[in-house]
Amino acid sequence: MRIPDSVLEEIKGKVSIQDVISDHVTLQKKGSRLWGLCPFHTEKTPSFTVDEEKGLYYCYGCHKGGSVFTFLMEVEQVSFIESVKILAERAHVELPQAGDERQLEAENEQRQLMELYRRLTESFRHILESSPHAEHARGYLEDRRVPEEIQQRFSLGYLFQSGKWLHTFLTGKHYSQEFLGKSGLFSAKHTDYCLFSGRIIFPIRDHRGRVVAFGGRALKEGSFAKYINSPETSIFMKRRVLYGLHESLEHVRKLGYVIICEGYFDVMALHGVGIPCAAAPLGTACTEEHAYLIKRFCNEVHLLFDQDSAGTEALVKTLPIFERLDIRTRVITLPQGKDPADLLKEDPQQLKTCVNNPVNSFEYLVHILSERYDRSSPEGKHAVFTHMYPLLASTNSEIKREEYLRIASDHLHVDVRALYDDYTTMTSRASDTALKKGSPAVHKEIPMDVELYMLAVVFTHPKLFARMRSVCSHDRLKNKYARTLYLILEDAFRRGNLDSTVMLDEIEDTRLKSLMVREIDSGKYTDHPEKLLTDTLISLERSELAAKRDAVSFELKQLEKKQDAHSQQRMRELLFEKKFIDEEIERIRKSL
C-alpha cells in the first residue's frame, strides 16, 4: 500500500523527530544540533546526532541514519508502512484506506484478533478473580507464592474446564467460524474445543504491550501437556516475543540490563522479590530476533538457566548470539537443582542474593564444560574447547578473544598459543566450508565517486534536479548506486514532490541510505550548491573524455603492430580524435 507524499509530509509536519527519538535516546543541545548515545550500538561518547530542521538523524559511529520513519523502523523493528501507521496515530493523521484489498483485509483481521485477545484477557482475569470454578486455580497460585499484585501486573486468568464453553460464548458474540479457526484458540482437529480449557492463562504481550498470544498451565494432571502456548498466528511469532519484557521494560531501561530466564513462573518469581527486569522466551531458545529486540532497550543480559545439561546446552547456543551483537552477558547461578520459582517458596532472600551477584559468562561456561568433560585427558580438553569455540568465533573484539583464550588456558592447563592455533585451524575450516556452500558477501562501505557526489549534491538540494537531468541522462551514469538515486529523483520529480526525507525512505539499500544521510548531514553541500553541481558536471565530462582518450590510446597501440593500409587509415582517424579530445580536456581544465 503506497502512502501519498502529502500524507507523509503532514505526518512529518505534526510529529517532531526530536520528540520521537527522545523516547529512546537522551538528547542534549550542542551548537545547532542535538547529540546523544546511539541506540543502535554500544558507545560511551555521543556520536548520534539529530537535525530537527532537516528532519534527519545520523550516527557517526555505526553510520545508521534517516528520517523519523527510518528511526522507528530500526528501533521498533517494523516495516515502513507500520512506522507510518504508528506516527500517523501519534500525529492524529488519518491514513487513506485505498490499496491492496488483500493487505487491507489482513490488517483488519489482525486488528480484530488483537481486540479479541484484549477482551479475552479481561474475561479470563475476571473468571480467576471471582468465579467459584476457579477456586483451585487461585489455590495453586497461592501455593506457588504468586501474590495478587503480581497476578494483576501480568493479568493472569483462568478458563473453565469445559472445552467447548469458549467457542459457544464467542459464536454467541457473532464471531465467525472462519475467524475463530485462525485465532489460535481452538484445536485444528476439533474446531470447537479450546486449547486452554481448564488452565491458568498467561497473556503474552509484545514489547508494545499488545496481547498477541496466550500461554496456559494445566491444573489437572494426566495426558495433557503441562504448559502450552498459542500456535503462531498472523500477530504472533514466538521467535520475536519475550514473555514479561513489556512488564519489565521501564526497569530494564533504567537498570541497563534484562534477566533472561526459562518460564512464566521464573519471570514472576523475580518480580515477586523486587527484581522487575526479567523476561523469558516462549518454548524456544533465545533467537537472533530476541537479541535484536533486547538491544533496543539495553546492552547487557543476565542469563538464568537451569543448572543441568539442558541448561548448559542452552548457554552454549545462546552466548554467541548476544556476543555477535556486542551485548554483554553475565550468568546467574542458583543452588543445584533449584529454579527461581523453587527458591521463591523456600528462601526469597537467597534468590535475591543469587540474582544480584551474576558471574562472568565465559568463565562460567569454561567451568561447567570442564566439569562435564574429563579435562585431565587431551580428548576432554579438546571437547571443552570445541564447545566454547562458537563464542570465541562470535566476538568482534580481538582483545576480548585474547582474554577468553587466557581464561581457557588457565582452566585447561594448556598453553594459550596452542589454543590460539586450534582456534585459527577451526576458523579456517569453517571459512572453507562456508565458501563451498556459498558464503554471504561482505558488506563494505560504498565508495564515493564523482557520480555519487553529484547525486548527493542534488539530494541535498532537490530543486537542482531539473538542471541536472537536462544535461545528464540516467543512461550516462555508470555507477549503479548513482543510477538508483537518479531514478528515485526522477520519480519524485514527476510526482512534483522533491522532498529529501521522503526520497531517503525510498532507498532500499541500507548502505546507500546510510551514505546519503551521512553526506547530507555533513553540511559540505550547504554553500554554493549551484557551483558544486556545475563543477561536478564538468568533472564528470572530463572523466568521460579521459576514458575515451584511454580507449583511443589503447586502440592506437594495437594498430601499431599492423602495417596494412586499412590500419594506417584508422590510425590517422584515431590521432585526429585524440587531438580533439585533448583540446576538450584542456578547455575544461582552463574553465575550472
| Cell triple for 468 | 541536472
What is the rounded CA–CA span in Å between residue 592 and residue 589? 6
Of residues 566 and 118, which shows the higher confidence score?
118
pLDDT digits (tens, 9 = 90+) for 322-359: 998 889 999 998 887 777 877 877 888 888 899 999 99
Residue 340 lies in a domain: no
Residue 343 lies in a domain: no
Q: Where residue 588 falls among pLDDT bands split at 50, 70, 90?
A: low
Which CATH number does the domain housing residue 482 bear? 1.10.860
3-state class (DSSP) for residue 269: helix
- pLDDT tens-digit series, residues 444-488: 567 777 888 899 999 989 989 988 888 888 888 888 889 899 999
User: What's residue 433's pLDDT?
Assistant: 59
Question: Average pLDDT, stretch 566-590?
Answer: 73
Instruction: Point out the domain boundary residue: 176, 206, 236.
Output: 236
Residue 214 β-bridge partners: 203
Q: What is the pLDDT of residues 351-384, one digit of tens each?
A: 889 999 999 999 999 888 888 888 888 899 999 9
Mean pLDDT, rounded, of the chain: 85
Spatial contact of 197 and 160, defined as CB atoms under 8 Å apart: yes
Of 439 and 93, the one with more pLDDT:
93
104 and 86 inside one domain? no
> Residue 21: what pLDDT?
92
Q: Is residue 580 situated within a structural domain?
A: yes
Q: Are residues 479 and 552 in the same domain?
A: yes
Same domain for 134 and 57?
no
**How many angstroms separate the CA atoms of 206 and 203, rounded?**
10
124-148 pLDDT, tens digit each:
999 999 999 999 999 999 998 999 9
Q: What is the mean pLDDT of residues 227-241?
A: 89
Across the range 182-197, mean pLDDT stands at 91
CATH number at residue 156: 3.90.980.10
CA distances from 343 to 200, 355, 376, 514 (A): 21, 11, 35, 49
In a 13 Å sphere around the CA of 122, the CA atoms on its Cβ side amount to 6
Grid coordinates given for 588: 575544461
CA distances from 315 to 75, 134, 330, 475 (A): 27, 38, 11, 54
79-83, 426-430, 476-480: least confident range: 426-430
The upper half-sphere exposure of residue 422, i.e. CA atoms within 13 Å in the direction of its Cβ, equals 21
Q: Which amino acid is present at 127?
A: I
The pLDDT confidence band at residue 167, using thresholds 50, 70 and 90, is very high
Are 87 and 107 within one domain?
Answer: no
pLDDT for 562 beyond 80 = no
Q: What is the pLDDT of residues 507-559, one digit of tens each?
A: 888 888 888 888 887 777 877 888 888 888 887 787 777 777 777 777 777 77
Residue 267: partners with Cβ closer than 8 Å, 6 or more residues away:
243, 244, 248, 261, 278, 279, 280
- Number of domains comprising the chain: 4
Residue 406 identity (one-letter amino acid): R
**If you count DSSP H runs as helices and E runs as strands, how many of each does the chain have, helices first?**
26, 14
What CATH number did the domain enclosing 37 receive?
3.90.580.10
- What residues make up the domain containing 148? 100-236
Q: Is the four-CA dihedral 478, 482, 488, 492 of positive or negative sign?
A: negative
pLDDT of 103 strictly over 90: no
Statement to judge: residues 123 and 71 lie in one domain: no
CATH of the domain at 386: 1.20.50
The answer on 153 and 115 residing in a single domain is: yes
Residues 56 and 18 in one domain: yes
**Higher per-residue confidence, 102 vs 58:** 58
- Exposed e or buried b per residue across 26-65, where buried means at least 16 C-beta atoms within 10 angstroms of its C-beta: ebeeeeebbbbbbbbbebeebbbbbbbebbbbbbbebbbb
Assigned domain for 346 exists: no
Q: How confident is the model at residue 247 (pLDDT cuts 50, 70, 90)?
A: very high
* Cβ atoms of residues 200 and 160 within 8 Å: no
Q: What is the pLDDT of residue 62?
A: 84
Structural domain ending residue among the three candidates 220, 236, 252: 236
Q: What is the pLDDT of residue 587?
A: 66
Give the pTM: 0.62
What's 169-232 look like in SS3?
HHHHCCCCHHHHHCCCCECCCCCCCECCCCEEEEEEECCCCCEEEEEEEECCCCCCCCEEECCC
User: Region 290-310: what's the mean pLDDT?
Assistant: 85
- Is the pLDDT reported for residue 309 higher than 80? no
**Contacts (Cβ under 8 Å, ≥6 apart) of 370:** 384, 411, 412
- 128 located within any domain: yes
242 occurs within a structural domain = no
Residues 25 and 65 in one domain: yes
Residues 118 and 53 in one domain: no
Same domain, 61 and 160: no
In a domain, 245, yes or no: no
In a domain, 60, yes or no: yes
β-bridge partners, 34:
29, 50
Residue 439 has what pLDDT? 45
Max CA separation in the chain (angstroms)? 110
Q: Is the pLDDT of residue 429 over 80?
A: no
Residue ranges with strand state E in 290-376: 300-303, 328-331, 359-360
Positive or negative CA dihedral for 347, 349, 350, 352?
positive
Q: Which of 300, 368, 298 is nearest to 333 (CA)?
A: 368
Q: Which residues pair with 260 in a beta bridge?
A: 279, 303
The predicted pLDDT at position 106 comes to: 72
pLDDT given at position 443: 46
Residue 113 to residue 98: CA distance in whole angstroms: 22
> What pLDDT band is residue 10 in, cutting at 50, 70 and 90?
confident
pLDDT digits (tens, 9 = 90+) for 266-276: 999 999 989 99
- Contacts with 376 (C-beta within 8 Å, 6 or more apart), sequence order: none
Residue type, 516: M
Q: Which of 61, 91, 121 is the last residue of a domain?
A: 91
Instruction: Give the confidence band of 592 by pLDDT, cuts at 50, 70, 90.
Output: very low
> Do 73 and 136 have their domain in common?
no
Determine the pLDDT at residue 346.
Answer: 84
Same domain, 415 and 546: no
